[in-house]
Amino acid sequence: MNDELRPQGTAGDEKIPESVREEEQHRTNEQQQTAPPGGYGYYGQQNQNWGQAWQQPPYSSVPHKPKKSKGALIALLVVVCLLGGVAAGTFLVAPGIGNIQKTLPGGLSMLPDENAMETKPSIGAQTTDVPEIGGVDPNIDAKTSPIVQIAKEVGPSVVGVAVSVNQPVLGQQEGAEQESGYGTGIIITQDGYIVTNHHVVDGSDSVKITLFDGAEYSAAIVGTDATTDLAVLKIDATGLIPAALGDSDALEVGETVVAIGNPLGASLAGSVTSGIVSALNRNISPNGFSQKYIQTDAAINPGNSGGALVNMKGQVIGINTLKTYLAGYDDYGVPIGTEGIGFAIPINSAKPIVEQLIATGSVQRPGIGIMCFVDETNQYNAAGAPAGVTVMDVTENGPAAQAGLEAYDIITSIDKTAVDSVETLTSVIQSHNIGDQIELSVWRNGQEYKAVVTVGDLNNMG
């Protein structure tokens, strides 16, 4: 503990501004099971009541009033494409396609913030025990319909992922398993490794995989990473057909792509939709931590989470993860829908995470345990405060707390590098290995101090 650092005050009950940026988002299992993270929405199927009226969705933050023009867009609601999950306010959107009920999320995710920090996970050294992931490129003849061939060649590598939870049964000691959600996965090795989204399997008690031919297997969760929303599963099978993995860095806007997955669950398994790459490098923060996505207008719906986005060579270049379906409300409070705005994790971003999950079951995340932002309006900084990053919260017993940092401290430099943004601070931290020491210059009450902080693993911070 650095005894020179003295408290200026505590955060108290003051409202933290929306511009606060987290150094890293770390969510405990308890937090994940009690409520979806801000910006995420889940499609529930537990309360299957037809004819229920549309309800105003609950919000964790109130959206800004629309400008005085009809149809004004307020925000872009990004939801995970998982069938099933936590019920909030509900409304029906698919009469006649089975008794599926859709759930609005508990909060709005605003339009992507240009200043939001980008995920650049430091995952440490790779081991030599990781199997080679991805299969052989299919033989796609561009002279004939490539989408037909892609459906035939890549379809067998896409699987259904059904998750269940144990529900208590009145009068019985043991509960009963109930299916709570349905998503999609991609076979990446012949011996049964499968990649999907973290949110598909999060909170589940059991996972069942259904192959293209209808064969079913119980799956073990090898590892998950909430930050990048990726998970690796393993089934006891051999001779499977792994999908070929392409180069997402080589994608161009306007390029034709195909989405393969299980919209609305097992009844529509193996559905194929096509579209184009609408945009690249879209910075979005669905879970409070920004990373880049591929934007596509290929139809993506609940149940497509974890499915394949495929180029015209039959290679998987993205993992379908998010979609938007609500832009905001007009002057009369009528919802404004969106169409053809889906997002996929680039395969080049996913591969090192997947390999680390296979090797170790987790992804190390260097961090020091603070929440911070640039206080451009001096809402919290004292008069005469220097430029830097203002600390809004310190993780209890985390590295920063142990070094004496407190709320309202201003970090002006790290390892003698001036700090003018959250991204500058985090990029230096993430360039270190866990256990390394970093030196911070900290301004408090008109004086500057030095603090030596040992980099920790954010996965182990509450």
**Active site residues per annotation:** 199, 229, 305
Report the helix count and the strand count for the chain, using DSSP H and E: 6, 26
128-132 long-range contacts (CB < 8 A, ≥24 apart) are 129/359, 130/355, 130/358, 130/359, 131/189, 131/191, 131/193, 131/358, 132/189
Residues 413 and 403: their CA atoms lie apart, in Å, by 15
N- to C-terminal Cα distance for the chain? 19
CA nearest 372: which of 332, 331, 405, 416? 405
Tell me the three state secondary structure of residue 200. Answer: helix
**Which residues 6+ apart lie within 8 Å of 304 measured at CB?**
81, 183, 184, 259, 261, 262, 263, 320, 323
CA nearest 344: which of 310, 321, 311? 321
Cβ contact 288:60 at 8 Å:
no
DSSP string, 389-456: EEEEEE-TTSHHHHTT--TT-EEEEETTEE--SHHHHHHHHHTSPTT-EEEEEEEETTEEEEEEEE-E
Cβ contact 334:347 at 8 Å:
no
**Which residues 6+ apart lie within 8 Å of 108 measured at CB?**
39, 59, 60, 61, 63, 75, 77
**Which residues 6+ apart lie within 8 Å of 122 measured at CB?**
364, 365, 366, 430, 431, 432, 433
